[in-house]
Structure 1
Amino acid sequence: MVILFVLAGLAAFAVLAGMQWYMWRRLVRDTTARPGFVRRAGAVVFVAGPLLMFAGVAGERAGAPFWLQKVLAWPGFMWMALSIYLVLALLVGELVRPFFLRRRSKLTPTEDAGSAEALSVEPVEPVEPVEPVVLSEPVESGKSAEEAPARAEERAEPATPSRRLFVSRIVGGTAAAVAVGTVGHGTYGVLRGPRVKRVTVPLAKLPRGAHGFRIAVVSDIHLGPILGRGFTQRVVDTINGTQPDLIAVVGDLVDGSVEDLGPAAAPLAQLRARHGTYFVTGNHEYFSGAAQWIDHVRELGLRPLENARTELPGFDLAGVDDVAGESEGHGPDFGKALGDRDRSRTSVLLAHQPVVIHDAVKHGVDLQLSGHTHGGQLWPGNFIADLANPTLAGLERYGDTQLYVTRGAGAWGPPVRVGAPSDVTVVELASRQA
């Protein structure tokens, strides 16, 4: 097992090193005429970038001093996102590069003849005069042979060094502009805060009195060295602006300790809903000291549901610990949360990861609310995330159980989203008896 882990690590390192070398070659070496300061500076950038990326991830996971995490996070995580889109843009550039490098010239028949004479053997003089035969193209009626245009032949010529340099600069510059623009737009989409999404979910057993009950679902805020107190305030203002009946925070609230991120989480105390705010752990809470965070969010006015259930007007609300807590003896316990309930009542389950949907089905859950996937966060990462989760984002049905997955409000690693906009979802419960 250890050997496989080491081999996987070496393979990942080789792929990353290959990506950095490829970007350096196309963006630095191929766009400079000769070795010099620019190439040396480019080499420094493409070595320092991945080192900062590794240091940013390692510093966060190892609990480095928070000031150091903040110093490393921005350049390291932004390089992570930029590398993805630089490589993708450059690969597209490989498809168009040959068309720009191929130069075609047109040679007239006279020029072709001259070339042929230079390569042919001198002809032997004939003994008797021979009437010359002239081969020509068909001539339109009313035009002489002299007026007919000469046919030219096209021949591809290899690109000169100056042309290759010019094409490399055009392709490399375009790829860099596309990558920077994509990452910049994706960063703005995260930092401005999540947008509100509204979904109506009909539930067969929901009584008429609970028709229209609105649950504001927020997940994956990921407070840390990049997203801090200001971001929390934007999320809180967005949620309160929807005037929900209940707020569900479904995990991955933080990436760090209470000591470092307590001030960043403080605006959560401003959350307001008629039936309160509930919280369940995500996998990142178990990287950050889950027990301390559970106590802290309780002090902020949120009610943790640790494999527990509460009865609300019209339905039961349950919550389970994240599967990452199993290593600490705090994984999901569906029997404890749902085992002795009245199954004639509607049940809504808060669970961070969508993968527990099959347990929810077994226990007769009507609606599961989850996050975790980020909707893929960075295209084309959505294809990988879709393979690892039963539902990537949105509402789907599994037997008699419905699963809704929010894309989340924040971002892990790079504060960038491409093709997966952040959201706070207002889930409105609908009674079929209404």
Structure 2
Amino acid sequence: MLVFLLGLIVVLALLGGVHWYVWRRLVRDVTARGSAARRVGTVAAFALPLLSFAALVSSRAGAPFWLQQTVAWPGYLWLALLLYVTLALAVGEAVRPLLRRWLERRPANPGPAATPGGGAPVSVPPALDGLPPAPAGLDAAVAAGTAPAGRTAVAGADSVPPHGDTLTEPTPSGPQTGTDTGLATAGATAGLTATGSDAGLATAGGEGDTARTAAGGTHTGAEAGTDARTGTGTHADVEPGTDARTGTGTHADVDARMDAGTAGASALSRRLFVSRVVGGAAAAAAVGTVGYGTYGVLRGPRVKRVTVPLAKVPRAAHGYRIAVVSDIHLGPVLGRAHTQRIVDAINATQPDLIAVVGDLVDGTVENLGTAAEPLARLRARHGSFFVTGNHEYFSGADAWVDHVRELGLRPLRNERVEIGAGFDLAGVDDIAGEREGQGPDFARALGDRDRAKATVLLAHQPVVVHDAVRHGVDLQLSGHTHGGQLWPGNYLAELANPTVAGLERYGDTQLYVSRGAGAWGPPVRVGAPSDITLVELASKQT
């Protein structure tokens, strides 16, 4: 009990960590704090795992069948989506730094434009970019100090408005000596003016763009937008790096601050862009994978054909066809329509014998009896046979054995029958029945047979193949593994089963494992398509 509890704690902690990671990458990193998208994503991060838990336990807890059906679809599908979105995000972790590095190395915007005075180049702010130049001769007049009194030089304007029609900056009374330069603050528009002996330096975004002057000389401010004057036409607070006499309007300190802010904003923007690209790609990959895998299950299984040569099979049985179907898994997701598709596919092969090798259902006869009814329409020359799987013991094995018998299938419960074609067909209960005092009994099923005749054994789980070898079985037909169902689940299935899918030999016994016709849990298969196998026996005596 203690081991079980510790294992449960580890599993819950792992699931909690995975959900936090997915929420972080798909919600927190790509949405704004307090936004509706973040609230919805956070609610989903709590609600979906609760639905998955409800889907897993509702059947065994005896919940009403309508409730099982309600929670099964979203709960089980989320488990599949969680698997593939986590795998995709993990791959994205390797892509993130590469994408950020590529963005950082992209060519910058076009270089800054040079100032009219030949000073240091400055950037053209977006607000002023594209405005027409000042009229011809204005710059010269301004530089010479001969602009008419009361007339205003407007930065970026294409003409000088008439006297009295412009906004002017009040000039101090009395003569002004020296030269005076002002700095217009970031965000100044083209309509800001400088009059008299003041020169306006317009800056947008701290880039130091030069405005046209209305009088000669320069004046440099320590901060963008500062017009502190000393009375002598100089500025007392010129900081290192400020070009206070060239008239170019450069300011190293302001530029450094604004560049740092711009760099920070750019880095933040790049991180958001990368998070959204990687997160969106991961979500799209997961949805596409799960969507295609769901379509494969709901479409129904495809028929595979496998030829198995057996030394003891007589010539009369050469070409004998056995339709093998396993793991149908009728339940709250897959119902009567699923059964009908399987029956139609089997009957279309015109088999000589039909073998249903376990895990027919995930629920009680009361809830799923009608879903299994199409099995009564199975048609084969030598009949249809059934053995229990582990899921029958979760759903009332004895009741289901009685029900399939009513539908015309013959259960083989540790027993053997002789097939007229010249071989024996045996079947054993699943090992999960051992908890109920049942389970496989090979001595009972195979003990007194004629070993000169070939024997085909129906056993749900491949792991009993070693018992089959000891009892001289020629061919064992099994299911249980689903082929892994959801890649990379096949690697886990290999740890617990001698064969995950297909035909393999163990001593003198051949083992064939079907991937199954349905799906357990999520109605999704990835890398392990569902199948019905038509096994054709080949006699070596021909």
Q: How does 1:110-259 map to 2 (within 5 A)?
A: 160-259=267-366
Structure 2 residue 475 is matched with structure 1 residue 367: yes
Partner of 2:124: none
> What is the correspondence of 1:9-408 to structure 2 with a 5 Å cutoff?
9-102=8-101, 103-104=104-105, 160-313=267-420, 314-408=422-516
Question: Which digits, 9 at most, give the CA deviation of each residue in 1:79-120, with x for residues without a partner?
Answer: 00000000001011111100111213789xxx9xx9xxxxxx
Q: How much does 1:344 deviate?
A: 0.3
1:179-203 deviations in Å (ceiling 9; x for gaps): 0000000000000000000000000
Q: What SS does the corresponding residue of 1:62 show, helix, strand or coil?
A: coil
Q: Which moved more, 1:95-104 or 1:330-339?
A: 95-104
C-alpha deviation, 1:372, in angstroms: 0.2
Structure with greater proportional helix content: 1
Greater RCO, 1 or 2 (C-alpha within 8 Å, sep 6+): 1
For residues 361-411 of structure 1, give each alpha carbon's deviation from its aligned partner in whole angstroms, at most 9, with x where no partner exists: 000000000000000000000000011100000000000000000000000
For 2:95 and 2:77, locate their aligned partners in 1 and report how far apart those are by CA, in whole Å: 27
Q: Equivalent residue for 1:419? A: 527
What corresponds to 1:129 in structure 2? none
Query: Are residue 430 (structure 1) and residue 430 (structure 2) matched?
Result: no
The structure 1 segments of at least 4 consecutive aligned residues displaced by more than 4 Å after TM superposition are: none
Number of corresponding residues: 389
Mapped contact 2:32–2:38 kept (Cα < 8 A):
no
**Alignment match, 2:139:** none
Which structure's CA Rg is the greater one? Answer: 2
Give, in whole Å, the separation in 2 of the partners of 1:72 and 1:3: 30
Contact 1:252 1:282 survives alignment (8 Å): yes
Corresponding residue SS for 1:396: strand
Deviations 1:178-233 (A, max 9, x none): 00000000000000000000000000011110100000000000000000000100
Letter in 2 for 1:74: W
Tell me the percent identity: 72
* CA deviation after TM superposition for structure 1 residue 34, in Å: 2.9
SS in 2 for 1:61: coil
Gaps of 5+ in 2: 113-119, 121-240, 242-262
Q: Which residue of structure 1 lines up, in the alignment, with residue 518 of structure 2?
A: 410
| Residues 36 and 357 of structure 1, relative CA distance in 2, 3 Å threshold | same
TM (normalized to structure 1)? Answer: 0.87
| Paired residue type of 1:293 | W
Could you tell me how far apart the structure 2 residues matched to 1:87 and 1:318 are? 44
RMSD: 1.7
Note the alpha carbon deviations across 1:30-56, whole angstroms, 9 max, x for none. Answer: 001333221111111011111000000
* Equivalent AA in structure 2 for residue 419 of structure 1: G
Q: Aligned partners of 1:244 and 1:323: how far apart in 2?
A: 28
Partner SS for 1:160: helix
- 1:153 alignment partner in structure 2: none
Distance across 2 between alignment mates of 1:267 and 1:32: 50
In 2, the alpha carbon distance for the partners of 1:332 and 1:99 equals 56
| Distance apart, 1:317 and its partner CA | 0.1
AA matched with 1:49: L
Report if the CA contact (8 A) 2:77-2:522 is conserved: yes
SS at match of 1:231: helix
Amino acid at match of 2:342: V
Aligned partners of 2:107 and 2:363: how far apart in 1? 67
